Amino acid sequence: MSSLRTRIHDDLAQAMRDREMARVKVLRTTMSAIQNAEAVEGVASVEGVVGYGDVQRRSLTDDDVIEIIVREIEEFEGSVAEYRQVGQTERAEGLQMELEVLRGYLNSD
């Protein structure tokens, strides 16, 4: 397991304890993207399967996690631009703050 993935997971838990809902939202979305990338290809569905917790997952490197974060940032940037274009500046500013949370993971260490 990558140390960056672990850090995001730990930061999510802390944000939940601190009730920082905007941070929780963006970190949950990012963790979901990471978990989707870890899923073993070719397994359509393992829900309800005995030993579900034993299903092997891919181990991502920090570089893999960074690629996922970059993709998430690109999606946020597109959404921010769209909201600004239609005049929803308050929503754009909210997404911009979430975007900065993700950028913090690229600019650290």
Domains with residue ranges and CATH for the chain: 3-39+59-106 (1.10.1510.10)
> Mind listing the pLDDT tens digit for each residue in 9-56?
999 999 999 999 999 999 999 999 999 998 876 555 555 555 555 567
Please give, one letter per residue, the 3-state secondary structure of the chain. Answer: CCHHHHHHHHHHHHHHHHCCHHHHHHHHHHHHHHHHHHCCCCCCCCCCCCCHHHCCCCCCCHHHHHHHHHHHHHHHHHHHHHHHHCCCHHHHHHHHHHHHHHHHHHCCC
Q: pLDDT digits over 58-106, tens only?
A: 889 999 999 999 999 999 999 999 999 999 999 999 999 999 999 999 9
Using CA atoms, how far apart are residues 74 and 22, in angstroms rounded to an integer? 18
Task: Evaluate if pTM is beyond 0.85.
Answer: no
